[in-house]
Amino acid sequence: MNGRRVSDQLVETVRDRSDLVSTVSEYLTLKKAGQNFTGLCPFHTEKTPSFSVNPSKQFFHCFGCGVGGDIFQFLMKIEGIAFPEALQRLAAKAGVALPEYRPGERENPGARDETEQIYQANEAAAAYFHRSLLEKPEGAPAREYLKGRGITAETIQAFSIGFALPRRDDLLKQVGRQFPRPVLEKASLISKKEGVQGEAAFFDRFRNRVLFPIRDLQAKVIGFGGRVLDQSLPKYLNTPETVVFRKGKHFFALDRAKKAGARSLIIVEGYFDVIAAHQAGVTNVIATMGTALTGEHLRLIRRWTENIILIFDPDEAGARAAMRTAPLFIEEGMSAKVVSLPLGEDPDLFIRKEGKAGFLKKLEEGKTLIDFAISRMTETSSFKSIDDKIKITEEIFPLIERLKNKFEQSHYLKTLSETLQIEEQDVRAQFASRNSKKKGGVSAGRPAPAEGSKLPHDEETIASLLLQNQLDPSALVNQVDLEDFTDSRIRGILSHYWNAEEGRWSSPGNLNEAEAPLLALWSRLSVRENGFENIQQTARDCILSLRAKKLRRESSEIESKIKLAEKGGDLSLMKSLQQRFFNLRKELSHLTLSH
């Protein structure tokens, strides 16, 4: 362990061994109320308790002033100290030795040795998978597959791309002998079948997949991304969260970009996008792994570059992605440029078609996140009427509001007025009235609540039930998608439950990864007293209500398309639209009947 950096693992150990309830109790009196503890908020003046602590989630939240967070944040706030000092105090109390404060002493040597072994097991597995790809007869289909995707032998070498044979326990037999079972299990290289005893209980996690080793900044293998060769599902399988791997923190190929001396970074989403770029000589491309960007991601890369380019689709989905990502950058005081490729093209395809020069030229078209969101939202066909324009301003205003720089605010208000073709003074007046309304609504002497407008009840309830483990994410599967949630704050939280790669709901690995702007809402929903009589029924009702809203949105869109088709005299289009409209209404009436 060098310098002042303390490993995340150590931070987690301190967190695990500390208790928020007893720490808070040193500053105020807490009373048990349902599943939570409540008391008078130490951060604002109040007569009735609105400060709440959830002991199982280890989160606090004040319903009066909106502050919230975990044990570190509580201590930092109440003592007015920075993170390292908060960590030091809690560690001292929990009996965890921090290396930089007690030089010459090692923290928990057993845990360190095991972590070291996990790295070694990953390294050995990567070497074995790589050999299997190059040498084994069963590796032939994988070699063909990579060749078909235009990947050269040098690239396979450079990224040590590998292949897991289509056998149940190949890795276990070949590499497994060198490592204890618990190490392989903790590295998530193998899994254990429930209810089976002995050796037969274990099997390889990755089978019949092309594998990309994921490395940390020291180029140590921390996990793998695996792709199937055919159409089977899931298309991509990543190492789940382990002691050494967290997808909300690591990037694929960041080690290589850093080694290549990258002065800027281009963030994409897929392994093949990264590989195609590097192969073409663009070596500053990195990828997230099936997760949205997090604050932790940004803090990791801003150490050596603030020049970041993101690639989003050139449609409404891309605009939404930009709006979700913008607060993150604003919060971290960073900026990013957004580039889009022609619809339906990913960087892999684009680079293979246009080459390095074409790709670099494209990158010059970068727009800021907010400019991109504004222009995409206005260009997509569904935003034309005055209602739609109002809707856009309502979505963009909160982003502009977060900007600390008045000139920047002014720039975007101007852009907004130009692209929406609304008088600039009207936009400014609307923006100003929105601000004063918010300030006027809160009694003097209190900080403004962290959240702005009211949350849709059904979306808020689902998020809260998920956060409190009262609802399993599988209940949402095939019912609603992430995009069906209309509130961007709720989407931000639920994105941790959404596997974007596979388009499905799943349990998040680490719940303490809330991005800073969402933290207050996150903590509030985590400690909120739900008190529903029948949780399952409530959840079902909320899901139904979301589905119904989605169907209504779709049917009103189709309705306006029917009118257009009618005007244009396109009878066959009209007929097919009417059929779709009819089907939607039928589904909707079923929903409301069963409701």
Q: Which residues bind Zn ion (CB under 5 A)?
A: 41, 43-44, 62, 64-65
- Whichever of 368 and 523 has its CB closer to Zn ion, that residue is 523
Enclosing H/E stretch for 441: none
- CA–CA gap between residue 479 and residue 495 (Å, rounded): 16
Shortest distance, position 65 Cβ to Zn ion, whole Å: 3
| Burial tier of 411 (Cβ tally within 10 Å: 0-12, 13-18, 19+) | middle
- Whichever of 76 and 574 has its CB closer to Zn ion, that residue is 76
- Whichever of 43 and 383 has its CB closer to Zn ion, that residue is 43
CA atoms within 13 A on the CB side of 346: 13
- Whichever of 46 and 331 has its CB closer to Zn ion, that residue is 46
Shortest distance, position 381 Cβ to Zn ion, whole Å: 45
What does the radius of gyration of the chain's CA atoms come to, in whole angstroms? 26
- Whichever of 195 and 445 has its CB closer to Zn ion, that residue is 445
Q: How many CB atoms lie within 10 A of CB 307?
A: 16
- Whichever of 67 and 276 has its CB closer to Zn ion, that residue is 67
Shortest distance, position 70 Cβ to Zn ion, whole Å: 16
| DSSP H stretches of helix in 292-405 | 295-301, 316-331, 347-363, 369-379, 386-402
567: helix, coil or strand? helix
Per-residue exposure over 329-348, b if at least 16 CB sit within 10 Å of its own CB, e if not: bbbbebebbbbbbeeebbbb
Shortest distance, position 89 Cβ to Zn ion, whole Å: 22
- Whichever of 48 and 534 has its CB closer to Zn ion, that residue is 48
- CA–CA gap between residue 50 and residue 38 (Å, rounded): 7
The distance in angstroms from the start CA to the end CA of the chain is 58
Shortest distance, position 47 Cβ to Zn ion, whole Å: 12
Question: Own/partner pairs for 43-50, CB < 8 Å, 24+ apart?
Answer: 43/67, 43/77, 43/78, 43/447, 44/445, 44/446, 44/447, 45/445, 45/446
Shortest distance, position 531 Cβ to Zn ion, whole Å: 22
Write out the DSSP string of 54-111: ETTTTEEEETTT--EE-HHHHHHHHHT--HHHHHHHHHHHHTPPPTTTSTT--S-HHH
- Whichever of 52 and 132 has its CB closer to Zn ion, that residue is 52
**11, 190, 201, 342, 573 from 197: Cα distances, Å:** 35, 15, 6, 53, 61
Shortest distance, position 44 Cβ to Zn ion, whole Å: 4
- Whichever of 62 and 286 has its CB closer to Zn ion, that residue is 62
Shortest distance, position 454 Cβ to Zn ion, whole Å: 19
What are the residues whose beta carbons fall under 8 Å from the beta carbon of 70, sequence distance 6 or more?
A: 15, 20, 58, 59, 60, 512
- What the block records as the tokens of 289 is 């792994």
Phi and psi angles of residue 367, each rounded to the nearest 5 degrees, phi first:
-115, 160
- Whichever of 63 and 119 has its CB closer to Zn ion, that residue is 63
Shortest distance, position 229 Cβ to Zn ion, whole Å: 55
Shortest distance, position 46 Cβ to Zn ion, whole Å: 7
